Structure 1
Amino acid sequence: MAVSADLGDVLESFVTRLVASGRYHSKSEVLREGVRLIQEREARLAALDASIARGLADADAGRVKPSSEVFDRLEAKLAAKTDHT
């Protein structure tokens, strides 16, 4: 399926410069790379949203620990890690 896109002058110029530099072989290649990057970002955002939802569900269900306990455990891990290096 062919897609036509109006990028505007600034983005069109940028894409043209990328192709002219030899970094990409065509404008289509630049646009495909851009869409792939957006797909990756959207997947990361979806994973983050799912993690937040799990965390909120845990908090709503009372599955929480005091922050002091969590920070003490993290500080101990960090101290142990720096002692071994």
Structure 2
Amino acid sequence: MNVSVGKHWEEFIDSLVKQGRYASATEVMREGLRLVEEREAKLKALRETIEASLAEAGELTDEQVAAELRAHVEARRARSA
């Protein structure tokens, strides 16, 4: 695969290699792709959590939410006393 990244990124990659932070431009690109992959995985997990929370939101009654909130507040008060 041949990729063109433009002058700015070429200079940035070259500077990282010249500083000795990476052995080659390929190593810089691999690290960048690894970080993108990691970010995408985190975003996917976050989206799944949001979807599950939204689906679950309709399952609780107002009374249940109020009871959980009261219990949470009481627990915090007990810890700080």
Common fold: TM-score over 0.5: yes
Distance in 2, Cα, partners of 1:78 & 1:20: 57
Over 3 Å counting, the alpha-carbon distance change for 1:20 and 1:74 in structure 2 is farther
Runs (4+) off by over 6 Å: none
Query: RMSD of the alignment, in Å?
Result: 2.6
Q: Give the structure with the larger helix fraction.
A: 2
Q: Tell me the number of residue pairs that the alignment of Structure 1 and Structure 2 aligns.
A: 79
Give the alignment of 1:3-42 within 5 angstroms.
3-42=1-40
Q: Secondary structure at the match of 2:28?
A: helix
Structure 2 residues without counterparts, runs of 5 or longer: none
Over 3 Å counting, the alpha-carbon distance change for 1:33 and 1:75 in structure 2 is farther
Structure 1 residues without counterparts, runs of 5 or longer: none
* TM-score scaled by length of structure 1: 0.75
Q: Secondary structure at the match of 1:66?
A: helix
Give the alignment of 1:59-70 within 5 angstroms.
59-60=57-58, 62-63=59-60, 65-66=64-65, 69-70=68-69
